[in-house]
């Protein structure tokens, strides 16, 4: 299985992967539970059109998780995914530190093929900031996949407004009085 990643300002990832017949959880709760640790704080999760997304907090890092339906793109398995993490002033909260990949696989569930990606991202977080999380997705039917240019009518591009995280959610574990 070969993984290719490319980062552009808002953390775009290009993955061209082989497909392995693994089983995945049927519900978002099962999938999130399988991909998070007990020391991580779940900040948000969302299912959109059968695709799953989650964000957890672990110290000064967040864990970003996505499960994209690639059933229509089984010939190429090419997609771009960008996680945009911004404060209330629209400034990026992502530190200039390369994300740490945890998992990048294709899995089969029923008659569908999903691209699963989990990674840790380091953040720059002043204590009082809120965080807005958006996920930008582009799926391509060929190995030529460019965020700026549409090369085929079969390309799909969309944006998911994942969540807004309060200052309490961003505070280090144990620092917020309840």
DSSP letters for 65-130: EEEEE-GGGTTT-EEEEEEEEE-TTS-B-B-SS--EEEEEEEEEETTEEEEEEEEEEEB---TT--
Residue 3 placed within a domain: no
- Paired sense of beta strands 41-48 and 12-16, if any: unpaired
Distance of alpha carbon 21 from alpha carbon 39, whole angstroms: 30
Residue 74 placed within a domain: yes
User: What confidence score (pLDDT) does residue 149 get?
Assistant: 73
Find the domain containing 90 and state its range: 12-170
Residue 87 placed within a domain: yes
DSSP symbol at 111: T
pTM equals: 0.79
Residue 1 placed within a domain: no
Residue 132 placed within a domain: yes
Distance of alpha carbon 112 from alpha carbon 69, whole angstroms: 7
What does residue 162 show for φ and ψ, rounded to 5 degrees? -70, -55
pLDDT (tens place) for every residue of the chain, 178 residues total: 333 233 222 223 333 333 333 344 458 999 999 999 999 999 999 999 999 999 999 877 899 999 999 998 877 778 999 999 999 889 999 988 899 999 999 999 889 999 999 999 998 877 657 899 999 999 988 887 877 676 677 889 999 999 999 877 777 654 443 3
Overall number of domains in the chain: 1
Residue 175 placed within a domain: no
């Amino acid at each position: 299985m070969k993984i290719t990643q490319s980062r552009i300002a808002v953390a775009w990832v290009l993955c061209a992967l082989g497909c392995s017949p693994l089983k995945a959880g049927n519900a978002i709760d099962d999938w999130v539970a399988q991909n998070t640790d007990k020391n991580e704080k779940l900040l948000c999760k969302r299912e959109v059109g059968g695709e799953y997304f989650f964000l957890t907090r672990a110290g000064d890092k967040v864990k970003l998780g996505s499960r994209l339906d690639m059933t229509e793109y089984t010939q190429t398995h090419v997609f771009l995914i960008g996680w945009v993490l911004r404060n209330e002033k629209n400034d990026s909260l992502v530190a200039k530190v390369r994300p740490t990949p945890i998992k990048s696989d294709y899995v089969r569930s029923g008659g569908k093929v999903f691209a699963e990606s989990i990674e840790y991202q380091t953040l720059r977080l002043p204590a009082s900031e809120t965080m807005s999380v958006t996920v930008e997705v582009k799926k391509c039917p060929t190995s030529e996949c460019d965020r700026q240019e549409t090369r085929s009518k079969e390309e799909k591009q969309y944006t998911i407004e994942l969540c807004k995280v309060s200052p309490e959610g961003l505070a280090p574990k144990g620092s917020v009085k309840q």
